[in-house]
């Protein structure tokens, strides 16, 4: 249950995640998928996983290799947008230092290459489903212009797959994306296709070039751009700086393109075809066994982040053969996740957790399962057994009837267009069976319900007293000391006002008192900061020291709890200035108005030093 977690907006959540993973210096790259913020770090030992897990709106936390995965569900894009400015100039999808084992590094690389292109593949697959729907109900003829246009729209992402992969692979391996696209374009050039179609003895400076089709291919361009990354780096070292802009692109293409056409392309094509055909044959011969195993294991693969390893196989199969067999058991597992979570929704006595489970079940039945998996079933543990059982039953049905998908995506509901075709009815049966099995088994297996916290009722009651519309207000100083302007604080998060405007104080006394009457809106396990909200709608963060989160509470004593009502002048927090300074930390204390956008003007004291309880800030609210 998250009610005891810290309640905060997207910017505050992003800030806390950044602090608890070790700060900006520990971030090498950041990206996100549908539900997860994915932060690659330099040192996983600096991550405070349990404290991140305790944050409000964090559904789950996983560390795969050197990548921290924070499951945020539908909030992921908003938090990502707030997170990126906090870390500044880091790679959004580039390769980073890999400290994990070989498997972790391999999965990280696959994720970095295939995650960015998924929207294009999903869109193409859905368009194919729409085409089949229109044809099935005779709403369009295959000879019509509309059909031909839709066919072009849905095929383009697959046909030009090498170009999409060139972009994401070049970004991953940190080489020039435009040269990478040029090399992909060589493989798809109409003249090359014509030459290979009319000759079996092509040669490049006397070296035979094997005939191969590179449209819709996967491995040739990935290995080609991997080679290019090394060639480009080498050329940048040996070519004089004054000539690099001209010679490096030309020499890169002249070196890489022939090697791709002569060696890498043919080998990659053979290997890629073998992998795609191998999985197809596996399902054709052992569909039931494969479906059961996949359905059983899939939720655990998602938890470990290993499900990304199937992406390349699915793309290869779809691009070469037009169908995929992995999506069937995957969607069956999603349906089981929805069934188990819905059962929890009906059975739990905790009203707040009931709301979480209900929303998660709805997301899961659509096709977004992470809120259910991380926020409900894996958290309660036993329902995850029902998910595996339901997935195995649905996977067996999908495997037996050879359920095929026309594209990558999710489901069950969101995936309906992907399964339109001869096996569509079996897709429905496998999805329903998975849902029902998990739904029935969950209450039979049982689970330990999340206890109801009495304090939650108090928090809700007190917060109702707080106005939702900011009004003019005076903020007294919460600490005594020397006044420092925010731009002079030696921490970019505060000096650049990323969390809001305000002022800072260099304390002369280790006490923090309430600057107004209101409610304690947030406390932190590390005790270094406290969030307050006044009855007039002002939201304040008092942050004692810089990077003092690393002290893990040493030298701090918090005297209030989240949800407590406070009066002006109440003692909230004590801190040992000597101990904190001896540990090497600056105790300058920023006082931040986190809802700065609600105010027309923030007037700051002109005093050079101030006592706790004296006027520090005067806020002028925007007129409604």
The reply to whether omega before 412 is within 30° of 0 (cis) is yes
Cβ pair 547, 590 in contact under 8 A: no
- Distance CA(568)–CA(590), nearest Å, equals 19
Contacts for 278 with CB less than 8 Å, ≥ 6 apart: none
Closest residue by Cα to residue 433 from 476, 473, 398: 398
CB of 537 closer than 8 Å to CB of 468? yes
78 touches 84 (CB < 8 A): no
175 is catalytic: no
The answer to whether 54 and 12 are in contact (CB under 8 A) is no
DSSP code, position 91: B
In terms of phi and psi (left: phi > 0; alpha: psi -120 to 50; beta: otherwise), the region of 6 is beta
Contact residues for 272 (Cβ-Cβ < 8 A; gap 6+): 217, 218, 219, 220, 316, 320
Report the distance separating Cα 415 and Cα 126, nearest Å.
8
**Can you tell me which residue has the tokens 């040029």?**
182
Under 8 Å between Cβ of 97 and 87:
no
Q: Two tokens at 249?
A: 């692109």
- What three-state secondary structure class fits 29? strand
Peptide bond into 442 cis (omega under 30): no
Instruction: Determine the Cα–Cα distance for residues 344 and 148; give it in Å rounded to an integer.
Output: 47
- Give the single-character DSSP code of 405: B
Among candidate residues 5, 10, 33, 506, the one labeled active-site is 33
| 431: phi then psi, degrees, rounded to nearest 5 | -65, -45
Phi-psi region of 138 (alpha: psi -120 to 50; beta: other; left: phi over 0): left
Residues identified as active-site? 33
């Amino acid at each position: 249950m998250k009610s005891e977690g810290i309640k905060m907006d997207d910017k505050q959540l992003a800030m806390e995640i950044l602090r608890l993973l070790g700060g900006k210096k520990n971030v090498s790259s950041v990206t996100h998928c549908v539900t997860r913020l994915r932060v690659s770090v330099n040192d996983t030992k600096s991550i405070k996983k349990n404290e991140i897990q305790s944050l409000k709106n964090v559904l789950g936390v996983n560390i795969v290799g050197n990548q921290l995965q924070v499951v945020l569900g539908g909030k992921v894009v908003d938090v990502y947008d707030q997170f990126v400015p906090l870390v500044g100039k880091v790679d959004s999808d580039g390769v980073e230092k890999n400290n994990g084992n070989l498997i972790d590094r391999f999965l990280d690389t696959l994720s970095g290459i295939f995650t960015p292109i998924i929207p294009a593949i999903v869109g193409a697959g859905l368009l194919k489903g729409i085409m089949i729907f229109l044809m099935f109900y005779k709403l369009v003829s295959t000879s019509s212009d509309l059909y031909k246009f839709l066919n072009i729209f849905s095929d383009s992402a697959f046909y030009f797959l090498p170009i999409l992969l060139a972009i994401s692979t070049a970004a991953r391996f940190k080489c020039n994306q435009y040269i990478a696209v040029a090399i992909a374009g060589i493989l798809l050039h109409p003249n090359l296709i014509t030459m290979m179609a009319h000759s079996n003895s092509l040669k490049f400076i006397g070296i035979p070039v094997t005939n191969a089709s590179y449209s819709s291919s996967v491995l040739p361009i990935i290995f080609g751009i991997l080679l290019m990354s090394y060639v480009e780096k080498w050329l940048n070292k040996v070519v004089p700086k004054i000539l690099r802009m001209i010679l490096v692109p030309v020499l890169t293409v002249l070196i890489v393109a022939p090697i791709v056409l002569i060696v890498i392309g043919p080998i990659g094509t053979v290997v890629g075809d073998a992998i795609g055909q191998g999985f197809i044959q596996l399902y054709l011969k052992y569909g039931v066994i494969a479906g059961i195993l996949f359905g059983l294991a899939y939720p655990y693969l998602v938890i470990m982040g290993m499900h990304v390893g199937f992406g390349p196989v699915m793309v290869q199969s779809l691009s070469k053969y037009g169908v995929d067999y992995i999506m069937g058991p995957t969607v069956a597992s999603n349906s089981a996740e929805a069934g188990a979570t819905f059962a929890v929704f009906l059975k739990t006595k905790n009203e707040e957790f009931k709301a979480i489970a209900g929303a998660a079940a709805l997301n899961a039945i659509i096709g977004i399962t992470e809120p259910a998996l991380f926020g409900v079933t894996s958290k309660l543990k036993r329902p995850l057994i029902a998910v595996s059982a339901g997935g195995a039953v649905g996977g067996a049905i999908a495997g037996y009837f050879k359920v095929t998908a026309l594209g990558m995506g999710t489901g069950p509901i969101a995936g309906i267009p992907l399964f339109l075709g001869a096996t569509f009815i079996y897709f429905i049966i496998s999805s329903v069976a998975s849902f029902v099995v998990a739904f029935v088994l969950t209450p039979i297996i049982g689970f330990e319900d999340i206890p109801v916290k009495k304090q939650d009722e108090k928090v809700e009651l007190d917060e109702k007293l707080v106005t939702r519309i900011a009004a003019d207000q005076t903020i007294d100083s919460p600490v005594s000391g020397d006044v420092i302007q925010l731009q002079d604080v030696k921490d970019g998060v505060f000096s650049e006002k990323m969390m809001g405007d305000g002022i800072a104080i260099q304390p002369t006394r280790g006490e923090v008192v309430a600057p107004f009457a209101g409610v304690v809106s947030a406390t932190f396990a590390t005790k270094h900061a406290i969030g307050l909200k006044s009855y007039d709608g002002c939201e304040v963060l008092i942050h004692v020291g810089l990077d003092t989160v690393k002290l893990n509470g040493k030298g701090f004593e918090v005297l209030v709890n989240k949800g407590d009502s406070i009066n002006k002048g109440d003692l909230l927090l004590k801190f040992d200035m000597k101990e904190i300074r001896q540990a090497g930390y600056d105790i300058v204390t920023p006082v931040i108005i986190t809802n700065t956008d609600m105010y027309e003007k923030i007037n700051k004291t002109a005093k050079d030093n101030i006592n706790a309880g004296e006027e520090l800030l005067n806020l002028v609210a925007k007129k409604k």
